[in-house]
Structures are given as C-alpha cells and as structure tokens.
Amino acid sequence: MTLHEAIIKVLQEYGSPKTTSEIADILNVNKWYEKKDKSLILPFQIHGRTKNYPQFFERDGSSVFLKNGDGVQGQALVSSVPKSDKSSSIDDIMAFLNPSVPSDIEFEENQLMDETKFVSAGTLSEANVPSTPGLYCIRIREDGKLPAPFSERLKERGHNIIYIGIASQSLRKRFLGQELRAKGPGTFFRSIGAVLGYRPQIGSLIGRSNQNNYTFSPSDEMKIIAWINENLMVNYISFSGNQEVAENGLIRKYLPLLNLAKNPAAMPELTVLRNECKRIAREE
C-alpha cells in the first residue's frame, strides 16, 4: 500500500477530516504504511502527499478531507489510485530539513541551549527561579533511564533534549511549579509521568470542567518528582519577546522527545499513553 492509499484508508475508517498530525499518528501506530528506513511518518509528509494528490484529497489548513467529503467513494479510491508514488514537495522537505530560529532570538537560543548552563532539576527552588516570562529546556542525564521505545528514539535523535517550553507569565509558576513540581496542570509533568508508567486515579476527572488535565495520586506525584530531581537537567532564560515564534522555531530545530504540539517528529507512542491516562481519569 502506498502512502496516499494508507491516508485514504485512515480517512475511511477513522472519519474525515483528520489533521496531518492525527493521520501521521494513526499510521505510525497501526503500520498500514511504513517507510523503508522504518523511521516515523511525519506530518509534513502527510501534508506533501495530500497536496500532490488533489484528485483524492481536499485541504483546509492542516485538515485533510476525502474528495467527496463522506468517504462513500473511498472504497473505490483505494483500488484505483495510481501506483506511482510522488514524494513530498521540495519546499516541504527543505522546510523540515533546514528549520531555523528567527534571527532576533538567536542570542537567547544560544543562552538557553548552552549545555554548560544546565543544572540538576533538584537544585531549583522558588528562591532561584524568577517570576518572569521565559523559555525553558529539559534534558535527561542518561537516555537509558527512559523506558522503551523512548530511550531508543532519543538515541536516534543524537541528543538528550526531552522538552522545550514557554512560561508566558512566570517561570517560577509554570516551569518550576507546574512542570517540575506538579503544582498545577503541567504538560511535561503529565507526559513524563505517563512515560514512566504512572496512571491517574480512575474517574479523577469526572465533574471537572477540563477533561484533559489528568493528575496522579499524591504518592505517585512524589515518586515522579523524585525521578525528575535525580535524572533531569534544566536551563531557563527570561524572555518577553515573541514566545510562540521562539518556541516553534526551537521545537522544529531540536525535535525534543516529549513535545507533541508543533513537533514534526512528535511520538505517537506518547499520544497513545496520554490518551490512555485521559480515558482512565474519565471513567465512571
């Protein structure tokens, strides 16, 4: 099955439309299409392939629709698509292979990513993390401390960067409090907890307005925090410029292991784990 045939199958079986990231995640999990080098299918490849087959797909931003919009025609499409396999456009490929951080934040990037400035997560306290907007980066001391397949994926990427984020208002509250100490809805904390095998309490999200921000039990939170303090190195900088642009550029350039949003190499395995945690926390 070619990639565009596999995309058609996804839209038939999971419903149309789907975003390029959702399609990539589904294909990486169910293996309806695999690349020759066995590496992950990335959203930019879905973008390029659907763009090159307008006879089968319609696009609205990152969303992909089957051409007829309802999938009725889809069964015939899979058997009738041509066997030639166009590659993604040159623009798509070059944009992915040569990501860049805007020049106006290059100096801040150098400060943030300087490995000599990273310190153990366990050394941070409210006394030494400022209440200013900023950027932060999290590295792991040894990739072998992560379970499979995350340890293997990190080795493949050739670095030890597992997360890059922004604190729009306060590094002390967002980075230290929520992400490293579980004092609020930290995206990274929820991800690393799920990766390490922890799960929320059944039904813990029932009745809450936000049905995504699952939490772990207090005893599990303490275990996750202890693991973070022992195994992670962190760095942060105060930064009040265009944080969204900065974060997007840094994530595309470094492909941090546990970033999902804005990450061309987001791991579908992490999406699966986080969805499992949400399901458990929503169960009655």
- At residue 79 the predicted structure's pLDDT band, cuts being 50, 70 and 90, is very low
* 74/231 Cα distance (integer angstroms): 49
* 182/190 Cα distance (integer angstroms): 9
Q: What token pair was written down for 35?
A: 């690349």
Picking from 260, 262, 244, the residue whose alpha carbon sits closest to that of residue 252 is 262
pTM check: above 0.85:
no
Compute the average pLDDT of residues 94-121.
75
Q: What sign does the dihedral 198-204-208-209 (CA atoms) show?
A: positive
Same domain, 137 and 51: no
- At residue 102 the predicted structure's pLDDT band, cuts being 50, 70 and 90, is low
Model pLDDT for residues 214-238, shown as the tens digit of each residue: 999 999 999 999 999 999 999 999 9
- Residue 162, burial from CB neighbour count under 10 angstroms (0-12, 13-18, 19+): buried
For residue 98, the 8-state DSSP code is: S
Q: What sign does the dihedral 270-271-275-281 (CA atoms) show?
A: positive
- Structural domain count of the chain: 2
* Comparison of pLDDT for 35 and 178, the residue scoring more: 178
* Domain endpoint, select from 55, 74, 96: 96
Percent helix, strand, coil in the chain, to 5, is: 50, 10, 40
Element (H, E) at 166: strand 161-167
Same domain, 79 and 116: no
Q: Which residue has the tokens 């029932």?
A: 206
Domain assignment of residue 16, given as a range:
3-96
Q: Which residue has the tokens 């106006």?
A: 104
- What region does 200 belong to: left with phi over 0, alpha with psi -120 to 50, or beta? beta
Q: Letter for the amino acid at 260?
A: L
Same domain, 232 and 128: yes
Same domain, 224 and 264: yes
Q: Which residue has the tokens 């390490």?
A: 196
Cα dist. 226→195, 221, 231 in Å? 15, 9, 9
* 212/75 Cα distance (integer angstroms): 35
Structure confidence at residue 93 (pLDDT): 39
Same domain, 67 and 124: no
The rounded Cα 191 to chain-centroid distance in angstroms is 10
Structure confidence at residue 99 (pLDDT): 54
Compute the average pLDDT of residues 164-181.
98
Structure confidence at residue 105 (pLDDT): 66
Same domain, 201 and 121: yes
Same domain, 83 and 213: no
Same domain, 138 and 265: yes
Same domain, 124 and 250: yes
Same domain, 52 and 170: no
